[in-house]
Structure 1
Amino acid sequence: MTRRFSRITGTGSHLPARRVTNDDLVAQLAQRGVETSDEWIVERTGIRARHFAAADQGASDLAVPAAQAALQAAGRQASDIDLIIVATSTPDMVFPSTAAIVQHKLGIAGCPVFDVQAVCSGFIYALTVADAMIANGTATRALVIGSEVFSRLLDFDDRGTCVLFGDGAGAVVLEASDTPGILATDLHADGKYVDILCVPGHVAGGQVLGDPLLKMDGQAVFKLAVGVLDKAARAVLDKARMQAGDIDWLIPHQANIRIMLGTARKLHLPPEKVVVTVHEHGNTSAASIPLALDHGVRAGQVKPGQTVLLEGVGGGFTWGAVLLKM
């Protein structure tokens, strides 16, 4: 029996129209009595701008054009898709899933759809699940999307977090193949770190209970992130029987330039092999990796046949990596 593999055949992304520079954000925060500066933000994060969704835009509104761009790149129609997975921590509704809403907006019906919630590792988790479903014959062509409107979760009185995040969506078409595209995956989580990155609120009885805004212990996240990303990267390389030197591009979760370059150094990869979009997008959580992947593809950096390492780390605490051949 011939083994089924999966390959990425198209990528797409979408950013909301409103671009917010550091200077824009500094002026907004000053009105609230919160002091920061462009220099302070850039030095600590590498972020210079981010995009914020309009008040009437939800995660599905960003996901649909990203999905359409990926479908066009793959030469496929929405009707060719038989699985949709959306990675998001900011769904349109409590339920149904944002994936169901995206399915309807794409004008298709019948195929399985669901959301994955692993925060900034969400796209890695979703891609791993889609790969497994294609490998076992449950699906043949999947849309895997990361879409976030994290601006809705930000506490603009906390300069340590509100400057970090942005909104956006990225998508890939993943198709069954006779030759390996996804070479190896590796997923992990440790719930004892729930408190270092969370939104500790929920809806009950028509009211928000707890705090519905993002909380983060930045130093704890930084310390944990570099270590676990290195382990996940080495795990997928070992599974694929490859070396770090075989990697053409590292596309990490775009959270903080220091974490990203720290991970590259541990793998002895030069900065020139890291796809970086954090300076323009900020941290878009589950959308950041597919956004960066699409940017790399469309900029002519990431080419067919190259080996790419995707890796993410996020609240939960979750982390993981995917090694693939484009």
Structure 2
Amino acid sequence: MKTEALFIAGTATYLPPATKVEQAVADGRFDAQDAEDTQLESVCEATDEAPPEMAVAAARDALERSGHRPEDIALLLHACVYFQGLELYPTASYIHREVLGDHSALAFEVKNASNGCMTALDIAARSLTATDDVAALVTTADKVSRPAIDRWNSDIGIVPGDGASAMVLSKRSGFAQVLSTSTVSDPTLERLHRGDAPFTPHHDPTLPLDLRLRKLQYLGDVELDEFTRRFRAGLSDCVNRALHDADIRLGDVARFVVPHFGRIVLQREVLTALDIDLDLTTWPWGRTVGHLGAGDQIAGLDHLVRERAVAAGDLCMLLGVGAGFTWTCAVVRITELPQWPTPSAGIGLGDGRT
């Protein structure tokens, strides 16, 4: 979808302290071969912070940086992958009240696995384009905890990290202009994350999530090469649509914001598929925080802007992928490097906000 006069006005990230991978290996929590394969440096691990609290911390800073008032926000989308701290509870409404106050806005959760924030960005872009609304707020927050999830041994080539991110989309102005978004899906690949697991009445937290087993069950019936072919085809289709609508070529893109996968998975599923250089991606930073559930892309763009790793005029491509499978891509042009105020204090365990 080609977008007109749509901007990213503010971003922010909340990251708890990170654990060095070498320490996790020394403690016996992470296999040494897996550490070598992923090439991760460290992973963020929250303690007392709840996901909604981290989301609120990031959202408040993103809103302040955007220059928008709470009343300007007509749509709030909260994307997440894991348990948010309370069953049968609308997390988006908590964020709404804490960040925007009591004015009426449409607020709901987006559950689209690791493609959550990118799906939310696409939905928000379509909503703002089709309405008279001025601005939308996208938040993400995820935290994994034992016994339900063993962070270091729940998946193949990916290690979850804890944290939150937030983005304000605006029709007025911003530090980056959204030129296009696109989403492509291929539900024939959904079984990769289901395997042979049956549907059950409820989740037993004493049985840790085992995505490794599910993936191996799927790959016992479907060759890895066939999965990779279909994965790359979906990603390439998504990217090509976004490039077409933005009227640019892949070679015009200065930086790529990629999912925080381990090195082997990132190479096989993204870098090789698009023939892009690792040095042009956010991998060097992503490997220090881990896979932030639904929030890698907002956090990655926030990092590029804060670290002055982009310049005015640069084109950036945000790449998202989630189990199911869906791919979402956004092309943005940096219009200026903002001078944002220092984030306010953290939420009880030191200052993890960036």
Q: TM-score range by the shorter chain?
A: 0.7 to 0.9
Q: 1:172 is paired with a residue of what secondary structure?
A: strand
- Equivalent positions of 1:95-110 (< 5 A) are 95-109=88-102, 110=104
Q: Distance in 2 between matches of 1:269 and 1:156?
A: 29
**Deviation of 1:182 (Å):** 2.0
Contact 2:16 2:45 in 1 (8 A): yes
Q: Counterpart amino acid of 2:326?
A: T
Q: Determine if the alignment matches structure 1 residue 318 to structure 2 residue 326.
A: yes
Q: Distance in 2 between matches of 1:92 and 1:234?
A: 38
Corresponding residue for residue 253 of structure 1: 259
- Equivalent positions of 1:107-146 (< 5 A) are 107-109=100-102, 110-137=104-131, 139-146=133-140
Aligned in 2, Cα 1:280/1:186: closer, same or farther, shift over 3 Å? same
- Equivalent positions of 1:59-78 (< 5 A) are 59-78=51-70
Aligned in 2, Cα 1:27/1:226: closer, same or farther, shift over 3 Å? farther
- Percent identical across equivalent pairs? 23
- Equivalent positions of 1:289-308 (< 5 A) are 289-308=297-316
Aligned in 2, Cα 1:227/1:210: closer, same or farther, shift over 3 Å? farther
Corresponding residue for residue 188 of structure 1: 184
Q: Distance in 2 between matches of 1:267 and 1:171?
A: 27
Q: For this pair of structures, how many residues does the alignment match?
A: 315
Q: Counterpart amino acid of 2:287?
A: H
**Deviation of 1:68 (Å):** 1.8
Q: 1:181 is paired with a residue of what secondary structure?
A: strand
Corresponding residue for residue 85 of structure 1: 77
Q: Distance in 2 between matches of 1:50 and 1:198?
A: 25
CA RMSD of aligned residues (A): 3.2
Q: Distance in 1 between matches of 2:41 and 2:252?
A: 31
Unaligned runs of 5+ in 1: none
Q: Distance in 2 between matches of 1:147 and 1:136?
A: 27
**Deviation of 1:150 (Å):** 3.2
**Deviation of 1:270 (Å):** 3.1
Aligned in 2, Cα 1:209/1:267: closer, same or farther, shift over 3 Å? closer
Aligned in 2, Cα 1:169/1:61: closer, same or farther, shift over 3 Å? same
Q: 1:253 is paired with a residue of what secondary structure?
A: coil
Q: Counterpart amino acid of 2:171?
A: A
Corresponding residue for residue 6 of structure 1: 6
- Equivalent positions of 1:139-178 (< 5 A) are 139-151=133-145, 153-155=148-150, 158=153, 160-161=155-156, 164-177=159-172
**Residues 183-239 of structure 1 deviation map (CA, whole Å, 9 limit, x = unaligned):** 22221233333332259688847x649966141427759825444323321221122
Greater strand percent: which structure? 1
Aligned in 2, Cα 1:269/1:132: closer, same or farther, shift over 3 Å? same
Q: Distance in 1 between matches of 2:320 and 2:138?
A: 15
Aligned in 2, Cα 1:125/1:97: closer, same or farther, shift over 3 Å? same
Q: Determine if the alignment matches structure 1 residue 238 to structure 2 residue 276.
A: no
Corresponding residue for residue 269 of structure 1: 276
Q: 1:303 is paired with a residue of what secondary structure?
A: coil
Aligned in 2, Cα 1:208/1:232: closer, same or farther, shift over 3 Å? same
**Residues 3-22 of structure 1 deviation map (CA, whole Å, 9 limit, x = unaligned):** 953210111001123x2221
> When the two structures are superposed, what TM-score results if normalisation uses the length of structure 2?
0.78
Contact 2:136 2:168 in 1 (8 A): yes
**Deviation of 1:158 (Å):** 3.5
Corresponding residue for residue 234 of structure 2: 228
Q: Distance in 2 between matches of 1:164 and 1:105?
A: 30
Aligned in 2, Cα 1:225/1:20: closer, same or farther, shift over 3 Å? farther
Q: Distance in 1 between matches of 2:301 and 2:115?
A: 15
